[in-house]
Amino acid sequence: MARTEFPLSLFILLLTGVLVGTGFSSPVNAEIRKIVHPDGRVEYTNLSDKQRKIHYTNQKKSSVQNVYKYRNKEGVIAFSDQRPPDITFELLRFDCYACGVDSKVDWHSTPLNMKDYKVTVQLMAEKYEVPAALVRAVIHAESAYQVDAVSKAGAQGLMQLMPETAEELGVTKPFSAVQNIEGGTKYLAFLLDYFSGDERLATAAYNAGPGAVTRYKGVPPYAETEAYVERVAILRNRYADQL
């Protein structure tokens, strides 16, 4: 694989967790925390631990891929993955398609998308020497081919690029299918190069960040990341069989 040149600023962003998808850190939304619970449940919230206890002591635990936006009694806008009781709220879909730990999707049989963005995926895969099947698998896993997808963490478009990363990759229009796919494929090329062509580690890094993969010397022991890596691998192999 040809080495892709990346500016130092992008490398720093990648290692410090300013990522694509469900990145673990985002200066744009610094007040929103991501909490990975021991049971694998992933929670996004900007409430303090005390506020969470007050609001959700009696709420059923959940790992659903929804986030609720509402204004609390103090007039402050809050976000949580727990449905707020007796409060008007707006339901937002925020997480990547393949990140829900308790997803009921059968990844071995869920329909593949062989048609959308076919030419663009092939062109970018060839340009950056990344398997087209892997690019399609990541698009499927991240956004389920929704070109206007936006995550709660702020990731945008088909391959769910964080704004900072998109800027470093030269993506000025994240909801442009061509620009987003090129940026995401370029990022995958970097990760594959960085991890010596290991698709499993590159995929883990796409979800959790290169820093986390480096620290754990392998796929980080995060329930979401482990599920994501497994599902992308299944999709990648299925797409490869069809290409």
- Separation CA 130–CA 145 (nearest Å): 19
- Separation CA 12–CA 41 (nearest Å): 29
Q: What is the pLDDT of residues 140-151, one digit of tens each?
A: 999 989 888 888
> In the prediction, which pLDDT does 2 show?
37
Q: Which of 5, 90, 142, 182 is catalytic?
A: 142
Choice among 31-40, 125-134, 169-178, 204-213 with the minimum mean pLDDT: 31-40
Enter the tokens of residue 220: 């980080």
Q: How confident is the model at residue 178 (pLDDT cuts 50, 70, 90)?
A: very high
Following DSSP, what letter does each residue of 119-170 receive, concatenated? HHHHHHHHHHT--HHHHHHHHHHHHTT-TT-B-TT--BTTTTB-HHHHHHTT
Contacts of 126 (CB under 8 A, 6+ apart): 132
In the three-class reduction of DSSP (H, G, I as helix; E, B as strand; rest coil), residue 175 is classed as: coil
Dihedral (Cα; 3, 192, 12, 205), 10-degree rounding: 170
Of the chain, the percentage scoring pLDDT greater than 90 comes to 47
> In the prediction, which pLDDT does 141 show?
94
List the beta bridge partners of residue 44: 34
What burial class does residue 190 get, using C-beta atoms within 10 Å of its C-beta: 0-12 exposed, 13-18 middle, 19+ buried?
buried
Q: How confident is the model at residue 194 (pLDDT cuts 50, 70, 90)?
A: very high
Tell me if residue 168 is catalytic: no
Q: What is the pLDDT of residues 68-124, one digit of tens each?
A: 567 777 777 665 656 677 777 665 544 678 888 888 889 999 999 999 999 999 999
- Separation CA 73–CA 115 (nearest Å): 48
Angle (CA) 157 37 77, round 5°: 55
Q: What is the pLDDT of residues 26-80, one digit of tens each?
A: 333 335 666 665 545 556 666 666 655 544 443 333 333 455 567 777 777 665 6
Task: Give the residue-averaged pLDDT of 117-146.
Answer: 96
Q: How confident is the model at residue 185 (pLDDT cuts 50, 70, 90)?
A: very high
CA-derived radius of gyration, the chain: 18
- Separation CA 88–CA 64 (nearest Å): 19
> In the prediction, which pLDDT does 8 show?
43
Q: Where are the domains of the chain?
A: 8-25+103-242, 29-93
Q: How confident is the model at residue 22 (pLDDT cuts 50, 70, 90)?
A: very low
**Own/partner pairs, 27-32, CB within 8 angstroms, 24+ separation:** 27/164, 28/154, 28/162, 28/163, 28/164, 29/152, 29/153, 29/154, 32/79, 32/152, 32/153
> In the prediction, which pLDDT does 140 show?
95
Q: What is the CATH number of domain 8-25+103-242?
A: 1.10.530.10
> In the prediction, which pLDDT does 104 show?
84
Contacts of 109 (CB under 8 A, 6+ apart): none
> In the prediction, which pLDDT does 15 show?
45
Return the axis-axis angle of helices 177-194 and 118-128, rounded to nearest 10°: 30
